[in-house]
Structure 1
Amino acid sequence: MPETPEAFLRRLERQQALPPVCLIAGEEPLLQREASDAWREAARQSGFSEREVFDVDSNFDWGRLNEAAASMSIFGDRRLLELRMPNGKPGNAGSRAIQVYCSDPPDDALLLVTSNRLDKGARESAWVKAIEQAGVFVYCWPLPLDKMSQWVRQRLERAGLKPDSEAVELIVERAEGNLLAVDQAVERLLLLNGKGPVGADNAALSLADSARYSVDDLADAALNGDLPRAHRILEILEQEGTGQPLILWALARDIRAAARLSAGADDKILYQEKIFKRRSGLLKATARRQPTHTWHRLLRRCHEVDCAIKGVPGSNPQEALRALVSRLARAASRR
């Protein structure tokens, strides 16, 4: 069983000798980054001062890993070897190389393997089990929504801030499950407010970003039937360089959820689509005002926009997105 990041950090605090191999993977970038940074710092404090990084891609030569294990530092220093493997798929050659390394890790080196999401098969693969047997496997699962308030409060308090309940809930609502956004809010609060009490007004200021709109702002304007505002936000997003795939993703997510709600699905689908409380009321009200076939027709339009973005000849992705926003706003405005 993989360790949680919290258990891993506690291990580092109390353990003198570091395990020779560590795999840190998962689906929560902030937790992955902090666990990896903690391991690197623990390695540095233990005298592993030389660092060698390997970036794994489809052309990576896995012989380099075991060559590094067999070689000595030119300065005689102990080394931290870091294997960055974002897709978590070493292939047969990589799996064998990792297993060989783990069977007899060198005394003068530590190996840190980092990866993004690993599916169940990967988490139970031979190379992962070899790392677990030789060292430690840490997996950073997404934080459950019902744990978010507690996590935000602890994060603020660890930074020397004393938030009231309203401030915590405001940050939870605005962050919408994005731990990196919470981390940025904490940094801004420290900069703007210093350590000490934090109320909702302070929290709102730390989260404010009035110069920009988000893709959710665009979706909300369209769902409100406010076509001029929706077109204005779309133009600003395009001017700011927001990717067309991201804009389409947000619109398609809401349209897909609306189609399911209109067909009688319960509110659980909002959680599945990561549509948070702040937006759920608008989406439910709009979805149930229109027949299901209206939303299915809009979903087909989303597919057409996707094709345009991918470069289907004769299509214009900018015009296709604008037309989709118009159709969504008009559908939402019909009572």
Structure 2
Amino acid sequence: MKVRPDQLEQHLQKNLADIYFIFGDEPLQVMESADRIRAQARKQDYSAREVMDVDAQFDWNLLLDAANSLSLFAEKRILELRLPTGKPGKTGSKVLQEYAQRPADDAILIISSGKLDGSAKNTKWFKTLDQQGVLIQCWPINAEQLPGWIKQRLQSSGIIAEPQAIQLLADRVEGNLLAAAQEVDKLFLLHGGGKLNFEQTAQAVADSARYNIYDLVDSALLGDVARTARIVGGLKNEGVEPVLMLWALSREVRLITRIAEANMSVDAAMSRQRVWDNRKTLIRRALSRHSKLRWQFFLKRCAKIDKVVKGVEPGRAWDELLMLSTQIAQ
């Protein structure tokens, strides 16, 4: 059975399927589709969760063992299988077919993957999942569809934006839904719900020709202290709100701290945290410069700066942000 991402909410109001297979080359839609399924499962008392990340050394018997074992406390379970390549291999193909024919009685299985090549859809494992479960293919949003997608996203945050403001966002993100979602989050952070005009949007959305908060994060992770300091100064001169800079830095520091604290390899931890491939090198560089304790210290600094920004504690927000970002870069 095939369900589009925009049909998923309606589908979930009915009975949950035993198996969901979410795939496509639009990471945000894949991630949020899985989030919706998990949320609905929790409403139906699926309280336990097991996550399995497939790599070259993955033991496919873990999936069968999970299917055949019962929860210690008779809890219903969410089993998640992350298949980044979309290629389970010979053993994985057999296991997926076997599981689909005899799914666990007390669990639902959510399989998530990137884009599949054409040949994958002709395989036995894919056809079996199609017959026994629900397939959710996440297609990229094209240029004509993007303004409508952004409008709906804004409305879900309680923001009613002018058409010109929506088009500005669409032009800015150039089809990148994750970037669009981040811009919507920033706008809500700055202006809250209600009406949003073009001028407010233009002031909040970073011009790609200038420094922006993402440049700051990347420069700090890369270890370029001088450029990081220049970007902080540039953002200050451009009138960027300190709260936006702190939001971007805190988000990355929190992610890297989780990776540093994980009791597994860096690659496995990044896979579990759903780190994009194009950011893995930056994060490895940052992790190589600082210990786990240092990242925990940076996270505490973020909490302190948040109080400074809010006026709860004394201090100069821009000085604190400069110190934090350059310390990360050192």
TM range (shorter): 0.5 to 0.7
CA gap 1:67/1:181 in 2 versus in 1, 3 angstroms = same
In the TM superposition, 1:8-47 aligns within 5 A as 8-12=8-12, 14-15=13-14, 17-47=15-45
Task: Give the Å deviation of 1:123.
Answer: 2.6
In the TM superposition, 1:96-115 aligns within 5 A as 96-115=94-113
Any gaps of 5 or more consecutive residues in structure 2?
A: 224-330
CA gap 1:237/1:37 in 2 versus in 1, 3 angstroms = closer
Residue 126 of structure 2 aligns to a residue in which SS?
A: helix
Question: For 1:156 and 1:203, how far apart are their aligned partners in 2?
Answer: 12
Match of 2:145 among 144, 147, 160: 147
Any gaps of 5 or more consecutive residues in structure 1?
A: 216-235, 244-335
Identity of aligned residues (%): 39
In the TM superposition, 1:177-256 aligns within 5 A as 177-208=175-206, 211-212=211-212, 240=220
Task: Give the Å deviation of 1:152.
Answer: 1.1
Instruction: Report the TM-score, using the length of structure 2 for normalisation.
Output: 0.63
Residue 59 of structure 1 aligns to a residue in which SS?
A: coil
Question: For 2:108 and 2:192, how far apart are their aligned partners in 1?
Answer: 38
Paired residues in the alignment total: 221
CA gap 1:66/1:237 in 2 versus in 1, 3 angstroms = closer
Task: Give the Å deviation of 1:240.
Answer: 5.0
Task: Give the Å deviation of 1:208.
Answer: 2.2
Task: Give the Å deviation of 1:169.
Answer: 0.8
In the TM superposition, 1:68-79 aligns within 5 A as 68-79=66-77
Name the larger-Rg structure: 1
Cα-to-partner distance string for 1:56-113 (whole Å, 9 max, x where unaligned): 1111111111111111111111111111110111001000000000001121111111
Residue in structure 2 matched with residue 124 of structure 1 by the alignment: 122
Q: What one-letter code is carried by the residue in structure 1 that aligns with 2:10?
A: R
Q: What one-letter code is carried by the residue in structure 1 that aligns with 2:76?
A: R
Match of 2:48 among 40, 47, 50: 50
Following TM superposition, the consecutive aligned residue runs of length 4 or more in structure 1 with deviations greater than 3 angstroms are 209-215, 236-243
Residue 145 of structure 2 aligns to a residue in which SS?
A: helix
Residue in structure 1 matched with residue 327 of structure 2 by the alignment: none
Question: For 1:149 and 1:100, how far apart are their aligned partners in 2?
Answer: 43
CA gap 1:238/1:127 in 2 versus in 1, 3 angstroms = closer
Instruction: Report the TM-score, using the length of structure 1 for normalisation.
Output: 0.62
Q: What one-letter code is carried by the residue in structure 1 that aligns with 2:91?
A: A
Match of 1:135 among 126, 133, 137: 133
